[in-house]
């Protein structure tokens, strides 16, 4: 791949994100405000544009629910976000550090992302209480990465707080799992630095991704057992890569 092509893809990735964030901010500041439908339209356009720019060949399995739902799955990379948005209109629960990322952090704030301080029980409570109105009143679907951080092994059982929220607030669940090839190239883990990782990613000739949705399930009776069950399901998907 030529250096000019690589630079072009890097710049287009940032420009697409900046443009989408600016469109949402302008709409939010207008008299009409910003509708759920408009947010979904902008973000799905951004997601597809980003996947095309990064040459991500996606295989989909299963269908996301069109109704407001709590999507719960594994977390490999920041590419998980556009990958999910390309198929399901969602907002995300994410760690607060992402809010300060250049351009991408602004974009995440503009679509109503709920940021969590993982070291603060108070912040987790606020996040939990924000999910229910987002689903029941706002009409949004919310996506939660139950591992709490990115991983290519899923060797630690999922946190089951989101499953408890589903039970408490009567929110249906839909598990998903994500895999990539080449996995380590796409994964954003350990001490990876965003700018250099993205630069490496735009230098990759082709990326294969798979996004699989399980069937939508009703409110769980035993949140901890359900979290373990779906964690194992997601983990099994990674072992087949």
Distance CA 42, CA 50 (A): 12
Residue ranges in the chain whose pLDDT is less than 50 = none
42 half-sphere exposure, CB direction, 13 A CA radius: 24
How many domains, in total, are found in the chain? Answer: 1
Predicted pLDDT at 179: 95
Q: Please check whether residue 238 is in contact with residue 73, taking contact to mean a CB–CB distance below 8 angstroms.
A: no
Q: How is residue 217 annotated by DSSP?
A: B
Predicted pLDDT at 43: 85
Its domain, for residue 122, covers 3-239
What global pTM score does this model have?
Answer: 0.86
Predicted pLDDT at 120: 65
Which pLDDT tens digit goes with each residue over 104-143? Answer: 677 677 666 777 776 666 666 666 777 888 888 878 889 9
Predicted pLDDT at 227: 94
Q: What is the CATH number of the domain that holds 213?
A: 3.40.1130
Predicted pLDDT at 103: 64
Which pLDDT tens digit goes with each residue over 146-156? Answer: 888 899 999 99
Pairing of strands 141-145, 56-61: unpaired
105 Cβ partners below 8 Å, 6+ apart? 98, 99
């Amino acid at each position: 791949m030529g250096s000019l092509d690589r630079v072009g893809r890097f710049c287009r990735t940032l420009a697409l994100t900046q443009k989408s964030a600016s469109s949402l901010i302008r709409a939010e500041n207008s008299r009409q405000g910003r509708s759920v439908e408009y947010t979904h339209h902008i973000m799905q356009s951004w997601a597809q544009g980003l996947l095309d720019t990064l040459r991500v060949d996606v295989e989909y399995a299963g269908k996301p629910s069109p109704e407001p739902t709590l999507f719960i799955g594994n977390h490999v990379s920041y590419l998980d976000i556009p990958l999910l948005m390309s198929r399901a209109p969602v907002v995300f629960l994410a760690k607060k550090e992402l809010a300060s990322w250049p351009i991408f952090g602004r974009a995440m704030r503009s679509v109503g992302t709920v940021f969590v301080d993982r070291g603060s029980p108070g912040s987790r409570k606020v996040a939990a209480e924000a999910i229910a109105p987002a689903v029941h009143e706002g009409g949004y679907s919310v996506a939660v990465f139950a591992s709490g951080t990115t991983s290519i092994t899923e060797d630690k059982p999922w946190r089951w707080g989101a499953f408890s929220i589903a039970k408490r607030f009567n929110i249906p669940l839909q598990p998903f799992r994500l895999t990539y090839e080449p996995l380590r190239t796409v994964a954003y883990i350990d001490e990876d630095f965003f700018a250099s990782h993205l630069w490496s990613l735009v230098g990759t000739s082709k990326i294969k991704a798979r996004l699989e949705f399980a069937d939508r399930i009703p409110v769980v009776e035993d949140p901890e057992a359900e979290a373990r069950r779906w964690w194992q399901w997601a983990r099994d998907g990674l072992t087949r890569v």
